[in-house]
Amino acid sequence: MTTPIIAMRGIVKTFGAVQALRDVNLHLMPGEILGLVGDNSAGKSTLMKVLTGAYTRDGGDVLVNGEITHFKSPHESRDLGIEMIYQDFALCGNMDVGQNIFLGRWPKRFGLFVDRPKMYEEARAVLSRLKVDVNSVFQKVESLSGGRQQSVAIARAISFNPKVVIFDEPTANLSVMATERLLETMSELKRQGVAQIIISHRLTDIFEVGDRIMVLKRGENVGDRYIAHTTEREVLELIVSGTPETALTAEEAMKKAA
């Protein structure tokens, strides 16, 4: 049986007197697209920050490829192939596309000088892999539309050759056309074997590209469904008034899908 690329078991996280996560379980299979949904206080972003090492968990286990991990920072999760793309994209607007894709790790010549031809060549290769068009790798990021800025942020994440990419509300501020391009990019990443977690309030987007959807409410699991076996209405009911349930393990999910 295939080992989940990510398994989170019994995750607990508190902030003072506030318990943000209560015994939360999550699993992600290789190449799977998982939608993570819930209202604004559900704990979605907190759970993902625990996964990436931005937050330290107070209880539970995080496993990557079956091995327990203890990330102390996002750099450590990146080393194991996990990337997260935030809503603000974290780009430098006064720099061009190529510089942003390799920000902080520009290729060097003789260990001293930035190898610009190599940097821009590799930037074009990453964008080509994603099948996205940003006009020019020399264009300043601040001159790009929101959708194209997001493409640059995704390209930067993909340049690390991740096994898992987490999207935080990726379509929240995009036009219809930009949203369509992004969903195409997600589908392309899936074809390339990259597993993805999408935090989103837009169920339509998740139902278009996702394989499975998990619902959190007040820091607890209240639903774990395969897209093919559920409806947007059922998921909305879980978000609004769901009762806590234990998220399916990878083994249970595979049996249910059979």
- If you write DSSP's letter for every residue of 93-113 in order, what string do you get? TTSBHHHHHTTT---EETTTE
Say if residue 191 is exposed, middle or buried (CB neighbours under 10 Å; 0-12, 13-18, 19+): exposed
Residue 226: DSSP 8-state: E
Share of the chain above pLDDT 90, in %: 71
The whole-angstrom separation of Cα 48 and Cα 7 is: 12
Instruction: Identify which of 257, 250, 195 has the alpha carbon closest to the alpha carbon of residue 4.
Output: 250
Q: How far is CA 70 from CA 51, 105, 108, 138, 220, in A?
A: 9, 25, 32, 39, 22
pLDDT, average across residues 238-255: 63
Q: Residue 95 — φ and ψ, nearest 5°?
A: -110, 160
**For the chain, what is the radius of gyration of the CA atoms?**
19
pLDDT for the residue 105: 79
The string of pLDDT tens digits covering residues 87-99 is: 888 899 999 999 9
The string of pLDDT tens digits covering residues 169-225 is: 998 878 888 899 899 999 999 999 999 999 999 999 999 999 999 999 999 999 999
Higher model confidence: residue 24 or residue 105?
A: 24
Residue 66: DSSP 8-state: T
Mean pLDDT (the chain) is 90
Look up residue 143 and give its two tokens. 């001159």
| Domains recognised in the chain with CATH numbers | 6-81+163-257 (3.40.50.300), 91-160 (no CATH)
The string of pLDDT tens digits covering residues 7-41 is: 999 999 999 999 999 999 999 999 999 999 999 88
Residue 258 has pLDDT above 70, yes or no: no
